[in-house]
Homo-oligomer: A and B are copies of this chain.
Amino acid sequence: MQNIYTDLAMEMAEGLDTDNLTGIEMDVVEQDSTKITTIHVVDEQGANTLGKPMGSYITIESPEIKQNNFTAHEEIMGILVRQLALLRDGLGIDDNGTVLVIGLGNRDVTPDALGPKVVEGVLVTRHIMGTLPEELLGGLRPISALAPGVMGMTGIETAEVVKGLVGNVCPQLVIAIDALAARSINRINQTIQLTDTGISPGAGVGNRRAALDEATLGVPVIAIGVPTVVDAATFVNDTLDIFLAGMAEEAPEHLRDGAEFFRMLTQLEEQDKYAVIRNSLEPAVGNMFVTPKEIGEVVKWLAGIIANGINIAMHKGIDMDDINRFMY
């Protein structure tokens, strides 16, 4: 059993015994260099097993997200649009239903600025629906979008801000975007997770906060998250494994005598090892995160992919042929 927290359902599923999954349906599709993993948690037993609420979790993985490659970004956006449309239809959202987009995170800290940047790229229309000409009206739905900032800057729980907005805007659907923390450094900036079960903001750079989900807001919440950081303790845990493996192969001859100990270390229960790390690192690094040097550029690309993915999936008058006009 594993209990290191990760925001990615896919990472939580990794430790499970796939032969005996009751209440969890998994499906993996590969398409060129992109891998799409769909997990449906269909009953309470599945939810308990996975440690995540009932609902759908779609993970789009591609190393090309973090490469400067426009064509690849367009393809990933196309995949995102289709998956968003599936979630939208699964939730029974009307073609004309109001959508509220919430960009979580702190615009002043680069890897946490994904949500606010997506909000900048969303085509908001709610305030102009009354003034649009007939021919446009059919293709657009009312969308509003706001980046509420983080609690450290506002003094207000993000869930409180959003609750207030939902009460006044009365959307049929909330879409929340946030930077996440991944378990594995290999998923940073190359994974987009969609889910219809909502989100707990601040998991990435800040501290975990009150959830944004149908239970708290009264309307369904599609969450779009991208892991942009790994927290420092998790990072040490992962790299320790790499280090130990590396030592076995690369360490000077006279050090390999510890081989017996190596085996022990690598066989440590994950949760024991993580607890040791967490305890021994606090307070020195308890508040630190790890992110790649190119984070500035990649967040900009990701924001373009997600904002335009939302525009296309939500405004039915904007179809796939328009994708390439919407980049960044």
Chain A residues in contact with chain B, CB under 8 A? 70-71, 74, 106, 108-110, 119-120, 124-128, 142-149, 151-157, 160-161, 163-169, 185-186, 205-206, 232, 235-236, 239-240, 242-243, 245-247, 250-252, 255, 257-258, 260-262, 264-265, 268, 272, 275-277, 279-281, 284-285, 287-296, 304, 322, 324-328
Contact = CB atoms under 8 A, between A and B. Distances in A.
Given A258-B258, A258-B261, 8 more contacts: A124-B155, A127-B152, A127-B157, A156-B168, A246-B277, A255-B265, A288-B290, A327-B327
B70 A326 contact: yes
Contacts of A205: 293
A73 to B, nearest CB: 8
Q: Which of A163, A240, A293 has the most CB of B within 10 A?
A: A293
From DSSP, what is the main secondary structure of chain A's interface residues? helix
B146 A161 contact: yes
Nearest to A129: B155
Nearest to A128: B155
Q: Which of A161, A235, A252, A288 has the most CB of B within 10 A?
A: A288
B294 A287 contact: yes
A109 B258 contact: no
B124 A153 contact: yes
Nearest to A279: B250
28 contacts: A71-B325, A109-B296, A110-B110, A125-B155, A126-B156, A127-B155, A143-B155, A156-B168, A164-B164, A164-B166, A186-B284, A206-B293, A235-B236, A239-B277, A239-B285, A243-B277, A247-B276, A250-B275, A250-B276, A251-B272, A257-B261, A258-B261, A258-B264, A258-B265, A288-B292, A290-B290, A304-B328, A325-B327
B168 A243 contact: no
The 9 nearest A-B residue pairs measured at CB: A164-B164, A246-B280, A258-B261, A144-B155, A126-B155, A124-B155, A70-B325, A261-B261, A324-B324
A290 B285 contact: yes
Contact of A148 (B146, B264, B324): B146
Contact of A146 (B156, B167, B292): B156
A113 to B, nearest CB: 9
A296 B106 contact: yes
Contacts of A293: 109, 205-206, 287-289
Contact of A250 (B71, B167, B280, B322): B280
A100 to B, nearest CB: 8
A279 B142 CA distance: 33
A142 B151 CA distance: 13
A226 B39 CA distance: 46
A142 B167 CA distance: 24
A211 to B, nearest CB: 15
Nearest to A327: B327
A214 to B, nearest CB: 18
Contacts of A163: 164, 168
A327 B164 CA distance: 33
